[in-house]
Amino acid sequence: MKGYRRRPNKGMPFRGSPGPGKVSGAGAIIRTLLWLVAIACVVGGALVYSVARRGLSAHDEPSWPERTLAGAMRRLAVPRALRTQQNPLEPTEAVLEEALAHYADDCAVCHANDGSGNTAMGRGLYPRVPDMRAAATQSLSDGELFSIIEHGIRLTGMPAWGTGTPESERQSWSLVHFIRRLPTLSPGDLTRLEELSPRTPAELREREAIRRFLEGDPGDSPAVPPSQRQED
């Protein structure tokens, strides 16, 4: 009876077979591909489910995976040479002053004068306008900030400001200097930004009326434009 006993895995493998415990190269590739397809189906399914349940409202906060993925994609999108480039402009008074005016004109409407992002636009956009004084922005390299300003960020509210000219590049580098200054803006800087923020003619008239009212003319009311009052 001895001869009938089977001893698994002890015999010689067939010639050309992978041997015990091994999978052929093609088999391994197919298995990996099947895993990738399965993972893609699960992730895709979860995304579809989440959109169907929660909608695409800009009121929500971006989830952690969304933020991480978007951040990684953004980093990849900036060429390495640019990522490591230092700001070629000297942060002279003139450069910073020009950047402050530019920021007040084009950026503060979303990013707020103090860089906090605390504006009606900033709070309503998805993804949110970040607080640029915080480490997440300040830890970006000069080149990354430059690239974001020049080229914008696709699928977000951040516009591309570059026109491909040396002048626009110079302006973007000067804005990089200004962003570095956001965490330490002085009250004087904030007043200058406030003064330089663009306003509609109606808002300007109302501000002027309020200023005159505060200067002591008791008959003046901010609700009545000064031009009409003079005819009374």
Residue from 100, 107, 112, 182 binding ligand HEC (CB under 6 A): 107
Residue among 122 and 209 whose Cβ is closer to ligand HEC: 122
Judged by CB under 6 A, the stretch of 16-24, 45-53, 87-95, 145-153 that binds ligand HEC is 145-153
Q: Which stretch binds ligand HEC (CB under 6 A): 41-49, 82-90, 151-159, 202-210?
A: 151-159
Q: What does the buried/exposed string (b/e) look like for 94-110 if buried means 16 or more CB atoms within 10 Å of the residue's CB?
A: ebbebbbebbbebbbbb
Per CB under 6 A, does 110 bind ligand HEC?
Answer: yes
**Phi, psi torsion values for 95, nearest 5 degrees:** -65, -45
Window contacting ligand HEC (CB under 6 A); options: 47-55, 86-94, 158-166, 214-222: 158-166
Does the footprint of ligand HEC cover residue 100 (CB under 6 A)?
Answer: no
Binding to ligand HEC by residue 137, rule CB under 6 A? yes
- Residue 106 interacts with ligand HEC (CB under 6 A)? yes
Residues ≥6 apart with Cβ < 8 Å to 218:
none
Identify whether the C-beta of residue 125 lies closer than 8 Å to the C-beta of residue 59: no
CB neighbour list of residue 226: distance below 8 Å, 6 or more residues apart: 205, 208, 209, 212, 220
Min separation Cβ 145 and ligand HEC, Å: 5
Half-sphere exposure of 52 (CA within 13 A, CB side): 6
Task: Decide: is 213 part of the binding site for ligand HEC (CB under 6 A).
Answer: no
